[in-house]
């Protein structure tokens, strides 16, 4: 699982055939400067050369070129130049890959561009937006729907650390080391990956912070011709949106933050919160399974379902199952696959089938889920999600944890989750030995003077637990954020298909209508 096997957070991709990946939330800081330096004015006046979109690159996940929407809208792609180093805006530039489909309604009703970030860090907006576009048909009547590959991702100077074969080996390793030898092997793998990042992308690594991406977004706003930024951020995209609001409060238009990252937490606190969140989702899955009239094929009671999973993982630690030859299903892969299936209630069926097969000695389905988590396609190619995820997180977060730190916190993590606790605790070593210093302890998202921001939290979210929603609201500041609660399951709210959530969000984005305080959707 990317980022040293810490469970990643993004929105759920809209395809069941190729189960998507879910990057881990990162940390960011925000300098106090409120506007781009004057020397970037030449970049803000650049003209984008929009053309029909090619097929996604390997680093974006591959696949076919996006097809026109049922409304007739055609996908167009372009590249925007932005400074590599925002402290040296007259220096070298990099390209930011953009995708858009123009608003389908009457031109006089067009509001502007609605920019999406679907999570990560590390997710490709260029390859993701076409998959989700049917969910945004209503919004697309008055907005140009726009997304992008953030710096370090996909076609935007995408970071590549290890190759496909090396990543296969990396994801086969034991991410829950129980002996001194296993710990050393695990640390060696981290050092090897980090060194590969430095060798292959060292020039980029200091400039991959969330604050850099937020500045890119403000340049994007100007280049697209919008007086204010209208934005829809999901998962890590909520942190990016909060950082943008902190840097450019006067430029915030209509902004939605869905599946909310807690901006107040350290990476260790975030990992512990995810352990609790995924455990809660697993318990919800288990209760749902045993409540089925046909019975639950993976346990007689909710506790039995969980006990059997714990026993499976323990057995895989010493005896992996046949998976997708030549690879086998290890404890690491099984844990990744289980986590992947908890991102949406719609995926719970895959988890049941995967567990059934694993108990019968076949690890294929859980391994397919793990591959989706890790950004590996059927041909064995990885997108650059892993590399970008680690690079951006480590550029953002100041913390550099040690084995001693992990061992000290293991009791807390195990109490939080017998399934995911060890896994997430050892993931705290993600940025150990990273070649670039991290920026801050956590994000600064305070945004006094910003227009109202709609913050949407899902009570059953495993990856960005609901508790973080209120903390984001408080951190944005008095009079800025308006909270909407969805009592649901899975990661995110709008793309769950809940009509109440979509009605509230659409009303806000299309008509500027802010919901009443305490609004709850079920």
Can the peptide bond before residue 58 be classed as cis, meaning omega within 30 degrees of 0?
no
The rounded distance, in Å, linking the Cα atoms of 332 and 56 is: 29
CA 199 to chain CA centroid, Å, is 25
Identify which of 248, 87, 61, 216 has the alpha carbon closest to the alpha carbon of residue 151: 216
No. of H helices and E strands in the chain? 17, 14
Is 235 a known active-site residue?
Answer: yes
Whole-number Cα distances in Å, 55 to 24, 51, 130, 225: 26, 12, 12, 27
The rounded distance, in Å, linking the Cα atoms of 291 and 99 is: 44
Whole-number Cα distances in Å, 99 to 226, 411, 417, 427, 430: 16, 46, 40, 33, 31
User: Of these residues, 387, 461, 493, 495, which one is catalytic?
Assistant: 461
Identify which of 340, 341, 361, 360 has the alpha carbon closest to the alpha carbon of residue 350: 341
User: Of these residues, 270, 371, 491, 493, which one is catalytic?
Assistant: 491
∠ CA 129-130-133, nearest 5°, is 80
Q: Are residues 101 and 144 in contact, defined by beta-carbon separation less than 8 angstroms?
A: yes
Q: How many CB atoms lie under 10 A from the CB of residue 476?
A: 27
Identify which of 267, 262, 299, 287 has the alpha carbon closest to the alpha carbon of residue 461: 262
- The DSSP string of 275-326 is HHHHHHHHHHHHHHHHTSTT--TT-SSHHHHHHHHHHHHHHHHHSPEE-STT
Is 246 a known active-site residue?
Answer: no
- The DSSP string of 47-77 is PP--EE--PPPGGGT--PPPPPPTT----EE
Identify which of 153, 130, 149 has the alpha carbon closest to the alpha carbon of residue 220: 149
Is 491 a known active-site residue?
Answer: yes
Whole-number Cα distances in Å, 67 to 80, 130, 248: 23, 8, 35
The rounded distance, in Å, linking the Cα atoms of 141 and 346 is: 28
User: Of these residues, 57, 147, 235, 417, which one is catalytic?
Assistant: 235
**Rounded to a whole number, what is the distance in angstroms from the first to the last CA of the chain?**
32
Q: Catalytic residue numbers?
A: 235, 461, 491
């Amino acid at each position: 699982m990317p980022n040293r096997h810490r469970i990643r957070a993004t929105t759920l991709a809209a395809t069941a055939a190729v189960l998507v990946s879910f990057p881990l939330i990162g940390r960011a800081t925000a300098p106090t400067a409120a506007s781009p330096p004057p020397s970037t004015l030449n970049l803000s006046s650049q003209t984008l050369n929009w053309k029909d979109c090619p097929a996604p690159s390997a680093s974006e996940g591959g696949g076919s070129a996006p097809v026109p929407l049922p409304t007739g809208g055609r996908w167009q792609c372009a590249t925007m130049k932005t400074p590599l180093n925002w402290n040296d805006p007259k220096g070298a530039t990099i390209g930011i890959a953009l995708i858009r489909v123009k608003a389908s309604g009457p031109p006089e009703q067009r509001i502007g561009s609605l920019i999406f970030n679907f999570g990560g860090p590390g997710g490709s907006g260029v390859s993701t937006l076409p998959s989700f576009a049917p969910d945004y048909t209503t919004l697309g009547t008055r907005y140009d729907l726009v997304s992008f590959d953030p710096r370090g991702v996909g076609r935007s100077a995408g970071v590549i650390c290890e190759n496909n074969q090396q990543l296969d080996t990396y994801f086969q390793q034991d991410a829950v080391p129980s002996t001194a030898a296993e710990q050393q092997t695990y640390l060696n793998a981290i050092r090897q990956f980090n060194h590969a990042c430095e060798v292959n992308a060292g020039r980029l690594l200091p400039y991959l912070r969330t604050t850099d991406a937020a500045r890119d977004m403000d340049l994007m706003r100007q280049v697209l011709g919008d007086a204010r930024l209208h934005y829809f951020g999901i998962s890590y995209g909520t942190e990016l949106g909060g950082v943008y609001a902190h840097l450019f409060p006067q430029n915030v238009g209509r902004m939605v933050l869905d599946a909310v990252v807690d901006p107040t937490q350290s990476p260790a606190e975030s990992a512990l919160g995810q352990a609790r969140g995924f455990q809660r989702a697993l318990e919800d899955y288990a209760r749902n399974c045993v409540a089925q009239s046909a019975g639950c094929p993976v346990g007689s009671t909710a506790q039995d379902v969980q006990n059997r999973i714990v026993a499976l993982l323990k057995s895989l630690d010493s005896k992996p199952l046949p998976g997708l030859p030549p690879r086998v299903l290890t404890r690491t892969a099984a844990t990744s696959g289980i986590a992947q299936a908890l991102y949406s209630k719609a995926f719970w069926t895959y988890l049941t089938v995967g567990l059934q097969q694993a108990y019968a000695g076949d690890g294929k389905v859980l391994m397919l889920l793990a591959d989706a988590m890790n950004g590996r396609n059927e041909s064995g190619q990885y997108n650059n999600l892993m590399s970008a995820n680690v690079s951006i997180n480590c550029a953002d977060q100041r913390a550099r944890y040690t084995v001693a730190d992990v061992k000290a916190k293991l009791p807390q993590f195990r109490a939080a989750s017998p399934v995911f606790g060890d896994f997430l605790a050892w993931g705290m070593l993600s940025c150990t030995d990273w070649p670039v210093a991290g920026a801050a302890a956590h994000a600064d998202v305070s945004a006094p003077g910003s227009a109202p921001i709609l913050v949407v939290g899902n009570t059953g979210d495993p990856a960005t637990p609901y508790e973080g929603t209120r903390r984001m609201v408080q951190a944005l500041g008095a009079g800025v954020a308006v909270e909407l609660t969805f009592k649901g399951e899975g990661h995110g709210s709008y793309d769950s298909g809940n009509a109440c959530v979509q009605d509230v969000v659409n009303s806000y984005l299309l008509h500027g209508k802010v919901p009443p305080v305490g609004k709850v959707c079920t």
